[in-house]
Structure 1
Amino acid sequence: MRRWIDRLRAAYGGGLRHVLLMLVCFAVAGWVVARLAGEPTAGRMLLWFVGAAVAHDLVLFPIYATADGGLRRAVRAGRRGAGPARIALLNHLRAAALAAALLFLVFLPGILGLTPDTYRAATGQERVSYLARWLAVTGVLFLISVAWWAIRWARWRRTPRPQ
Structure 2
Amino acid sequence: MNRPRPPLGSPLHLLLLVCSFALAGYAGIRLFADDWRGVALWLAGAAVLHDLVLLPLYTLADRAVVRGLDAAGRRSRTMYVRVPAALSGLLLLVWFPLVSGLAGRRYRSATGLSPAGYPARWLLITAVLFGGSALLLALRVRSAAKRRPPAAH
TM-score, shorter chain, exceeding 0.5: yes
Where does the alignment leave 5 or more consecutive residues of structure 1 unmatched? 1-14, 81-85
Aligned residue for 2:55? 61
Unaligned runs of 5+ in 2: 1-6
Question: Is 1:91 aligned to 2:79, yes or no?
Answer: yes
* 49-58 or 106-115, larger mean C-alpha shift: 106-115
Amino acid at match of 1:146: A
> Secondary structure of the residue that 1:16 maps to in structure 2?
coil
The one of 114, 123, 146 equivalent to 2:111 is 123
| AA partner of residue 73 (structure 1) | R
| Separation in 1, partners of 2:110, 2:30 | 26
- Cα pair distance change 1:22/1:66, threshold 3 Å: farther
Aligned residue number for residue 135 of structure 2 = 147
Alignment length, in residue pairs? 140
Residue 16 of structure 1: aligned partner: 8
Which amino acid counterpart does residue 145 of structure 1 have in structure 2?
A: S
Percent sequence identity over matched residues? 39
Instruction: Give yes or no for the alignment of 1:78 onto 2:81.
Output: no
Q: Is the 8 A contact 2:84 2:130 kept in 1?
A: yes
Residues 102-159 of structure 1, C-alpha deviations (whole Å, 9 max, x = no match): 1111221122111322122123344314222222221111010111112122223333
TM-score (norm 1): 0.72
Q: Which residue of 2 aligns with 1:5?
A: none
Which residue in 2 is equivalent to 1:10? none
| SS at 1:74 equivalent | helix
Q: What secondary structure does 2:34 align onto?
A: coil
C-alpha root-mean-square deviation of aligned residues, in Å? 2.6
CA, structure 1 residues 145+47, in 2 after alignment: closer, same or farther (shift >3 Å)?
same
